[in-house]
Chain A
Amino acid sequence: MTKAGLIKFRNDFLDHDITYSFLHSPATIIAALVTLVMFVMAFGAPLFTSYTPFDPGSLNLMDAFIPPAWEDGGTALHVMGTDGQGRDIFAAILYGTQVSLTVGLLSVLLSIGIGIPLGIIAGYSGGWVDTVIMRIADIQLTIPPILIALMIDGITRTSISRDLHEVVAIPVLVASIGIASWPQYARITRSGTLVERNKDYIAAAKLIRTPVPLILLRHILPNVIGPTLIVATIGVAVAIIIEATLSFLGVGVPPTTPSLGTLIRIGNSFLFSGEWWITFFPALTLVILVLSVNLIGDWLRDTFNPKLR
């Protein structure tokens, strides 16, 4: 590309409505930056802290209950203080955020992985296939995801031994949240498919005998996936909240690899005795993370599809 071409590209990009809307929404810019920073810090945790909070050998009980650096008795070695076992809170948050983000992202991937195909199939085939899929979705939609996730988690807990459960806890959690949230994606995809399937290009594809799976994959999917992905952004925030809630309730991530929710649960019991920082910083991180993702999702929705709710 020539220099003039590049400049034109840059100007077009800057002048584009979406860029404009992004650059004129300071909240969205901040949210995007915060999310990016959290993402990098969580997944590059060893680069940002030398502590290994979940290696029991590295902990020293002498370091327990150190308040944050700026409080009396605080030390610069533990900026956000330590918990009852001498764990560095900041390091724990980094690794906890990693778990929260992983569960959040994977479970949304799972629910769109279930929801989009079912939605497209229901919308394209119509008839009893549609009725059955959407009825199940309707019934499931009336029950809050958190309850379904709790149930699935409870069943697994009953069926397998406690030791095994610690190993499979995170996959089970991802599965519970993922299965609990697919109906909304199926709904959006289905309504998009209903519109697309009557369009001429689909009729043309049928006319030249394109196999149905190919029609669904190559023609319908690219045209209906946009709105679904926008909702999925907000879905990540919801999934992170569900994960944190389950972990807080003690049925989510086991304490050996704690997520933010587990950290809050652990710290909660120290709140009354004055060690507020043990629960405060993980809680603050969780809220900022969820809020940032929500802000981005809200902006995406308003910009690309004002009609979507």
Chain B
Amino acid sequence: MINFILKRLLQSTVVMLFVALISFFLFNFVGDPISNMVGQETSTEDMEQLRENLGLNDPFLVQFARFVGNAVQGDFGISYRLQRPVEELVAERMPATLELVFVSALIAIGLGVAGGLFTGLRKNHWLARLTLTSSLIGVSLPTFIIGILLIYIFAVQLNWLPSFGRGEVVQITDGWSTGLLTGSGWRAIILPAITLALYQTTLILRIIRSEMLEVMRTDFIKFAKARGLKSRDINYGHALKNTLIPVITVTGLQIGSLIAFSIITETVFQWPGMGNLFIQAVQFADVPVMSAYLVLVALFFVVINLIVDLLYFVVDPRLRADLVH
């Protein structure tokens, strides 16, 4: 077990270094960091001096090591566009994004699992067919169109919910502000959370359904039926549990994708999160923010993958057994 975790951690570190390398190339070789930092009237000597001060003339490895060292401490330089330290900008925006992703993940997992089980177990029920057809529509609806549609119906026409922003936020600690403690915060998160969750819900629903259908065809389910077990025990005890490995994998990936997809949702709803920050960075070629975002998202994925790996062990005794030896 310990061995496995160590091995996984090592792999994750390699992945993170790889991403850091891309990020580093972005930072140093895409455009000229110096000309992005200084004004038009700076003399060539001053620029050269700045270059020397920033260590941009050092050997590649030294520079990369410094970049990684800084990144580990959360230092990604100064935003070209906003002229503020990137880590400050990101820290301000992070709570909004994480809250949005958290609420969406709850919706996606809840609805996805329930819908997947229902459509998988009662595949000929009319409601299951309807759900499945609408799930195809769900996959076909681009996130931003869902957002626009929801805004048009619930904000413009019915005027029930706000169409943008986070509502009233409460500062819990220095670094963390939450909208989940105020009524207006909850009202504000409903539409973006649903928008963000919908696509992932359909994906989770479809994977659970197809895994359930597959498990229901296996010999051990046939044998469980032949032993006269109750269908509740067969469906939830045996079938569902055996779908968990693929389902955990996909769900983990989907939650990871939520972070990326939040870029779209945050743009549509002007949600003051990291995605919004990132898309502006892309539009204005604000490289330090872009590279910081890339590293952060990669970190998020790596952490989720680790959790997924650990969950495998909880579920599958065969993997646990391999570890003992």
- Given known A139-B15, A151-B294, contact A248–B256 (CB-CB < 8 A): no
- Given known A154-B290, A158-B285, A271-B156, contact A245–B142 (CB-CB < 8 A): yes
- Given known A151-B290, A268-B148, A272-B156, contact A139–B143 (CB-CB < 8 A): no
A241 within 8 A of B: yes
Task: Classify the interface of chain A: helix, strand, loop or mixed.
Answer: helix
1/0 contact string of A152-184 vs chain B (CB within 8 Å)? 011101110000000000000000000000000
Task: Please give the distance in Å from A169's CB to the nearest CB on chain B.
Answer: 13
When the two chains form their complex, are residues A283 and B145 in contact, meaning their CB atoms are under 8 A apart? Answer: yes
1/0 contact string of B240-260 vs chain A (CB within 8 Å)? 000000000000010011001
Contacts of B67 in A (CB 8 A): none
Contacts of A154 in B (CB 8 A): 281-282, 285, 290
B311 within 8 A of A: no
A153 to B279, CA, bound (A): 11
B305 within 8 A of A: yes
When the two chains form their complex, are residues B139 and A287 in contact, meaning their CB atoms are under 8 A apart? Answer: no
1/0 contact string of B182-213 vs chain A (CB within 8 Å)? 00000000000000000000000001001000
A153 to B145, CA, bound (A): 22
Q: Which residue of A lies closest to B279 (CB)?
A: A249
When the two chains form their complex, are residues A251 and B294 in contact, meaning their CB atoms are under 8 A apart? Answer: no
When the two chains form their complex, are residues A291 and B285 in contact, meaning their CB atoms are under 8 A apart? Answer: no
- The segment out of B108-116, B218-226, B261-269 that lies at the interface is B261-269
Contacts of B257 in A (CB 8 A): 144
Q: How many residues of A contact B (CB 8 A)?
A: 37
1/0 contact string of B110-149 vs chain A (CB within 8 Å)? 0000000000000000000000000011011111110011
Within 8 A of B (CB), among A261-309: 264, 268, 271-272, 276, 279, 283, 286-287, 290-291, 294-295, 298, 309
When the two chains form their complex, are residues B279 and A139 in contact, meaning their CB atoms are under 8 A apart? Answer: no
Q: What are 10 contact pairs spanning A and B, CB under 8 A?
A: A146-B261, A146-B264, A147-B297, A151-B294, A154-B281, A154-B282, A158-B31, A271-B148, A287-B145, A290-B140
When the two chains form their complex, are residues A157 and B282 in contact, meaning their CB atoms are under 8 A apart? Answer: yes
A217 to B256, CA, bound (A): 37
Contacts of B143 in A (CB 8 A): 245
- Given known A155-B26, A158-B287, A245-B142, contact A142–B156 (CB-CB < 8 A): no
Q: Which residues of chain B have a CB within 8 Å of any CB of chain A?
A: 15, 18, 26, 30-31, 136-137, 139-145, 148-149, 151-152, 156, 207, 210, 253, 256-257, 260-261, 263-264, 267, 278-279, 281-283, 285, 287, 290, 294, 297-298, 301, 305
Max count, chain A CB within 10 A of own CB: residue among B139, B145, B297:
B145
When the two chains form their complex, are residues B207 and A309 in contact, meaning their CB atoms are under 8 A apart? Answer: yes
Task: Please give the distance in Å from B280's CB to the nearest CB on chain A.
Answer: 10
Task: Please give the distance in Å from B276's CB to the nearest CB on chain A.
Answer: 10
Q: Which residue of B lies closest to A247 (CB)?
A: B144
When the two chains form their complex, are residues B148 and A251 in contact, meaning their CB atoms are under 8 A apart? Answer: no
A287 to B142, CA, bound (A): 8
When the two chains form their complex, are residues A286 and B142 in contact, meaning their CB atoms are under 8 A apart? Answer: yes
A159 to B287, CA, bound (A): 11
Contacts of A295 in B (CB 8 A): 136
Contacts of A153 in B (CB 8 A): 282
